[in-house]
Amino acid sequence: MTSARAEPPARRRLTARGALTRERIVRAAADLMHANGVAGTTMDQVIEASGTSKSQLYHYFDDKDALVTAVIKMQTARVMERQEPHLEQLSSLQGLRRWRDAVVSFVEERHGAHGCEIGSLASELADRSEPARILINATFRSWESYLAAGLRRMQDRGELDTEADVAELATGIMAAYQGGHLLSQAGRTAQPIALALDLAIRNVEALAPQRKSASGAAS
C-alpha cells in the first residue's frame, strides 16, 4: 500500500480554458469516429476538425487509446441524454410505443446512416480492447436497466404480468434495437428497426395480465 493509485491516472488540474479545449477535441473525435470508425480516424483529422494542435491533443490524452476512452464516455452520455426523456417516465405500453416512434423517426431522418453510436463502437472495439469492451458493455447494461425500470413501472400499474422477467425483456428489446439499427444501416431504410421494435413490443403486449384492470372493460 505505498502510493498506489487505482484506476484513474489522477489527471492534473484543469483550467476552465483547458476543459473547454479538451471538450472540443473529444467532440470532434466522437463525430469523426462515429462517421469513419475508430481505426479510420487519424489524430491529424481530430486536430484539424477541433481546430487544435498536436501538442494540445497529446497534452490532454496520452495516446489514441485514451482519446477513444473519452469518446466512448461522451457517446454514452449523448445516447443516454437522448434516451432518458423517453425512458425516465416510461410506465405504460403507450409510453413504450412513443419511445419506439421516437427511435424510428430518428433513424428515418438519417435514412439509417451511421448506426447507433454505441453499437458501432461495440462492433469495432469489443474484441480488440478489453477496457473499451468493459465500458461499452456497462453502457448497454445501464441502458437496459432504464428500460427494465420502465417495464417494472408497467408491472406496478398492472400493464404487465408481474411474473415477467423485466431484465430479460429489456435485453430482448435492446437486441431488437441494435439489430434493427444495423439492418437499417445496411438497407438505408428505417423499416427493419421499426419491424424489430414492433416485434419486441408485441411481446410485451402479450404479457399483459388478463384484462381486469381498473378501467373495468369487459371482454
Partner DNA sequence: GATAATCTGGAATACTTAGTCTAGAGGACG
Partner DNA sequence: CGTCCTCTAGACTAAGTATTCCAGATTATC
Residues engaged in binding DNA (CB under 7 A):
12-19, 21, 41-45, 52-56, 58-59, 62-65
Rule CB under 8 A: say whether 128 interacts with its own copies: yes
Q: Which does 193 bind (CB under 5 to 8 A by kind): its own copies, DNA, none?
A: its own copies
Q: Which does 76 bind (CB under 5 to 8 A by kind): its own copies, DNA, none?
A: none
Rule CB under 8 A: choose which of 47, 90, 136, 147 binds its own copies.
Answer: 136
Q: What is the DSSP letter of 38?
A: S
Q: How far is the CB of 22 from its own copies (least distance, A)?
A: 26
Rule CB under 8 A: say whether 52 interacts with its own copies: no
Report in angstroms the alpha-carbon separations of 50 from 43, 80, 120, 130, 192. 11, 24, 22, 28, 35
Rule CB under 8 A: say whether 113 interacts with its own copies: yes
Q: How far is the CB of 51 from DNA (least distance, A)?
A: 8
Rule CB under 8 A: say whether 37 interacts with its own copies: yes
161 Cβ contact list (under 8 Å, min separation 6): 155, 207, 208, 209
Rule CB under 8 A: say whether 185 interacts with its own copies: yes
Rule CB under 8 A: say whether 151 interacts with its own copies: no
How many residues bind its own copies (CB under 8 A)? The answer is 50
Q: How far is the CB of 115 from DNA (least distance, A)?
A: 21
DSSP string of 59-114, one letter each residue: HH-SSHHHHHHHHHHHHHHHHHHHHHHHHTT--SHHHHHHHHHHHHHHHHHTTT-S
C-alpha cell at 126: 469489443
Rule CB under 8 A: say whether 39 interacts with its own copies: yes
- Angle at CA 14, nearest 5°, toward 11 and 16? 160
Rule CB under 8 A: say whether 129 interacts with its own copies: no
Rule CB under 8 A: say whether 46 interacts with its own copies: no
90 Cβ contact list (under 8 Å, min separation 6): 96, 99, 147, 149, 150, 151, 153, 154
C-alpha span between 36 and 175 (Å, rounded): 24
